[in-house]
Amino acid sequence: MKNISLSICIALSVLSCKQSPVEQSPTESATTNDYASHLDSGSGIINNTNSPHVKLKSIDIGDCRWTEGFWAEKWKVAEETMIPHMGEILKGDVGHGYNNFKIAAGLKEGEHKGFWWHDGDFYKWMEAKMYIYGVNKDEKIVEEMDEIIDVIAQAQQDDGYLSTPAIIRDDIEPFTNRRYHELYNSGHLLTSACIHYRLTGKTNFLDIAVKHADYLYKLFSPKPEHLKRFGFNQTQIMGLVELYRTTKDKRYLELAEQFINMRGTYKIEDDETTKGYPIGDMVQERVPLRKETEAVGHAVLALYYYAGAADVYAETGEKALIDALERLWDNVTNKKMYVTGAVGQTHYGRSSRLDKIEEGFIDEYMMPNMTAYNETCANICNSMFNYRMLTLTGDAKHGDIMELVLHNSGLSGISLEGKHYYYSNPLRKIEGALDYDKMNVEFPERQPYLKCFCCPPNLVRTIAKSPGWAYSKSENGIAVNLYGGNELNTTLMDGSPIRLTQKTDYPWNGAIKITIDECKADAFDLLLRIPSWAKGTHIKVNGTKVAEAVPGTFSKIERKWKPGDEITIDMPMETKFIEGHPRIEEVRNQVALKRGPVVYCIESADLPKNTDITDVYLSSENKLSPTFRPDFLGGVTTLEGEILIRKDKLGKMYQEVSTPDFQSFKTNFIPYYAWSNRGQGEMTVFLPVIWN
């Protein structure tokens, strides 16, 4: 280990004199900024403009802005409440993320607080701030970031190492145990720095990222035996690919691919690098990715891994990678995903290969409702993975899952006012069934702060960057991925300008109008994603029916467009009963309600006092009417109608069947994402149904 004299430590304002395992040669620091002359100017969330194996390219951040309706309202709450409030937490003594960097930089006295991965969560908040800046161009955001970046730069070690627990604490040596989550912190650092550069043109944050990535390359590229197992929480793969796209330094892509190649190539046993953290399927290390047949282990770790592999495929085009990702997507979506798009069925359990796992995937079709874990991060990662798969394949099925998560299991992780958070997202809550005092991150209501703070900034940055997911560039046109009131001002792949305006009350109404405001004279394509639920959709251009609208596909309209052209889409939004696969034992003879992309639930607040949620039934004969209520739960469409409440209680474990005594009751169902905003109570998504 390299020793730094006390005088040098004081001069650098670094509290801890500890150094990481990589020695730095005298010439390295002098060449750190050489990359600046090769920077890519692309400004997409994923900068895949030059990625050779991508069918749908990213628009630049800021090219699209939500203007009215559902997503405009959510984005405004993110801008005005979610992100500023989260900044107060993370920069203060409650969240203490910023304090850790100040202590590591020698600017503040104190001890490291929070989990090992708290740095990464702070970087996610910084990234969210930049997405907001990409639209509103508030220079105060850049000024705030510059102040923070200066502190982070002072905390970074001479050789590039940057993870505050090991810098501050005397009992931690860098890269000696993977439970310290150093690579998780690294991945979010690299991603956040790339986004900051793309939106500001400044390299102050990127300098830190490049210095750190060079350190990682020197440390990991020789493939030392004791470091083979460190890439278990794989945000560093996405971060390295984005840094490669930004700097054009192929070493970063090579290292990203190396982290994929190393998984599953070593003996699976507990050793000095793994003590304190589960092994095997829990961290996706038992089977190499290219040979894996099912999603296993921690759901967040798995989906970050898959998303990173998708980024690598975008650059390399390796068939074995995309084949594996399609196979794993199918396993997640069709055998291990909830109706809300949520994933990660359990808090504690075993994989199909009998490894101990936490917060993750278990057996196929094993889908508990009340104890469903569905970590908010996992749901968000599912949308991240599907967004990447959408860009690679151009297949609308990935857009369907991305949209499903965004309207349901993603938003359920945060309260309507934007200041309280859920870590887990069950599909049923029964009072007294769970002892929350004995649980780690499950709570009866959303919390103002979660000690494990990974989910809140992950969700908020997703809302902040959602305009960038709304559209993609096709080979000669624009793909509409998400619907909502917005304005698009971008260029096609050939550089020609295009401006669109979208007006709609989606997801409460299936009527959408897109107006061409500016475009080139030559013909180009407009690709409209028709959700798989949208049977009977009609598309018209200037009042004339065109194009076949096949659910689950992009409807392609190729023509010479002109300013003023209007495209109207009419998606019938019927309330539908959704039943589960026969092997999902917990929802046999039960149904969920879904209208458009929105899944519904029923809460105690909409039932007679002292009604148990388990006594609520649906009748197949009763019709449910959609009603938009602008002043209720932030403005939602409820489903109003009759339900049946069973009056004869089933008090025994088992008893003889008798004719139930039902009472009819008129009530309303609310969107699942809006549950638990009216105090404590019971809730369920699935209800038993009486077929008449």
Residue 191 lies in a domain: no
CB atoms within 10 A of CB 550: 14
- Could you tell me if 582 and 677 lie in one domain? yes
- Could you tell me if 579 and 518 lie in one domain? no
- Residues 117-171 have pLDDT tens digits of 999 999 999 999 999 999 999 999 999 999 999 999 999 999 999 999 999 999 9
Percent of the chain exceeding pLDDT 70 equals 95
- Could you tell me if 563 and 606 lie in one domain? no
- Could you tell me if 552 and 613 lie in one domain? no
Which of 512, 526, 511 lies closest to 562 in space, CA to CA?
526
Give the pLDDT band (50/70/90) at residue 28: very low
- Could you tell me if 540 and 634 lie in one domain? no
DSSP assignment, residue 81? Answer: I
- Could you tell me if 560 and 633 lie in one domain? no
* Mean pLDDT on 24-45: 66
Percent of the chain exceeding pLDDT 90 equals 85
How many domains does the structure of the chain reveal? 2
Range of the domain at 543: 471-570
The tokens describing 364, both together, are 């196929």
pLDDT (0 to 100) of residue 21: 57
Average pLDDT score, the chain: 93
Residue 327 lies in a domain: no
DSSP string, 628-675: EETTSTTTEEEEEEEEEEE-S---SSS-------EEEEEEEEEEGGGT
CB atoms within 10 A of CB 182: 28
- Residues 537-552 have pLDDT tens digits of 999 999 999 978 999 9
Give the pLDDT band (50/70/90) at residue 35: confident
- Using the predicted structure, report yes or no on whether residue 305 has a pLDDT greater than 60: yes
pLDDT (0 to 100) of residue 335: 98
**Of 570, 589, 610, which residue constitutes the final position of a domain?**
570
C-beta of residue 38 within 8 angstroms of C-beta of residue 248: yes
**Of 570, 590, 617, which residue constitutes the final position of a domain?**
570
Report strand pairing: 524-530 vs 477-480. Answer: parallel
Residue 602 lies in a domain: yes
pLDDT (0 to 100) of residue 433: 77
Buried b (16+ CB within 10 A) or exposed e, 642-666: ebbbbeeeeeeeeeeeeeeebeeee
Residue 520 lies in a domain: yes
List Cβ neighbours of 169 (8 Å cut-off, separation of 6 or more).
16, 111, 112
- Could you tell me if 499 and 533 lie in one domain? yes
- Residues 340-385 have pLDDT tens digits of 999 999 999 999 999 999 999 999 999 999 999 999 999 999 999 9
Question: Any idea which of 226-230, 529-533, 663-667 has the lowest mean pLDDT?
Answer: 226-230
- Using the predicted structure, report yes or no on whether residue 223 has a pLDDT greater than 80: yes
**Of 570, 604, 619, which residue constitutes the final position of a domain?**
570
- Could you tell me if 560 and 667 lie in one domain? no
Which of residues 678 and 13 earns the better pLDDT score? 678
Which of 611, 608, 604, 609 lies closest to 681 in space, CA to CA?
604
| Phi-psi region at 501: left, alpha or beta (left = phi > 0; alpha = psi -120 to 50) | beta
pLDDT (0 to 100) of residue 13: 37
- Using the predicted structure, report yes or no on whether residue 509 has a pLDDT greater than 70: yes
- Residues 111-120 have pLDDT tens digits of 999 999 999 9
Report strand pairing: 616-619 vs 687-690. Answer: parallel
Question: Any idea which of 67-76, 84-93, 232-241, 655-664 has the lowest mean pLDDT?
Answer: 655-664
Buried b (16+ CB within 10 A) or exposed e, 139-175: eebbebbeebbebbbbbbbbbbbbbbbbbbeeebebb
Q: Cα–Cα distance between 95 and 143 in angstroms, integer?
A: 21
CA angle 583, 587, 590 (to 5 degrees): 130
The tokens describing 602, both together, are 């029923």
Residue 594 lies in a domain: yes
Residue 256 lies in a domain: no
Is the alpha carbon torsion for 168, 170, 176, 177 positive or negative? negative
Which of residues 270 and 683 earns the better pLDDT score? 683
Q: Is 538 helix (H, G, I), strand (E, B) or coil?
A: strand
- Using the predicted structure, report yes or no on whether residue 9 has a pLDDT greater than 60: no
- Residues 281-302 have pLDDT tens digits of 999 999 999 999 999 999 999 9
- Could you tell me if 592 and 617 lie in one domain? yes
Report the C-alpha dihedral over residues 631, 633, 635, 639, rounded to 10 degrees. -100
Residue 633 lies in a domain: yes
Residue 531 lies in a domain: yes
pLDDT (0 to 100) of residue 6: 29
Please compute Rg for the chain using Cα positions.
Answer: 25
Residue type, 433: A
- Could you tell me if 561 and 476 lie in one domain? yes
CATH, residue 505:
2.60.40
Q: Cα–Cα distance between 145 and 148 in angstroms, integer?
A: 5
pLDDT (0 to 100) of residue 30: 33
Q: Is the pTM of this model over 0.75?
A: yes
Which of 587, 662, 597, 594 lies closest to 624 in space, CA to CA?
594
Which of 79, 68, 30, 56 lies closest to 460 in space, CA to CA?
79
- Could you tell me if 592 and 680 lie in one domain? yes
- Could you tell me if 603 and 556 lie in one domain? no
Give the pLDDT band (50/70/90) at residue 22: low
C-beta of residue 414 within 8 angstroms of C-beta of residue 82: yes
Give the pLDDT band (50/70/90) at residue 20: low
Q: How far is CA 237 from the centre of its chain?
A: 16
Instruction: Report the length, in residues, of the chain.
Output: 692
pLDDT (0 to 100) of residue 10: 31
The tokens describing 134, both together, are 């990409």
Q: Which helix (H) or strand (E) holds 40?
A: none
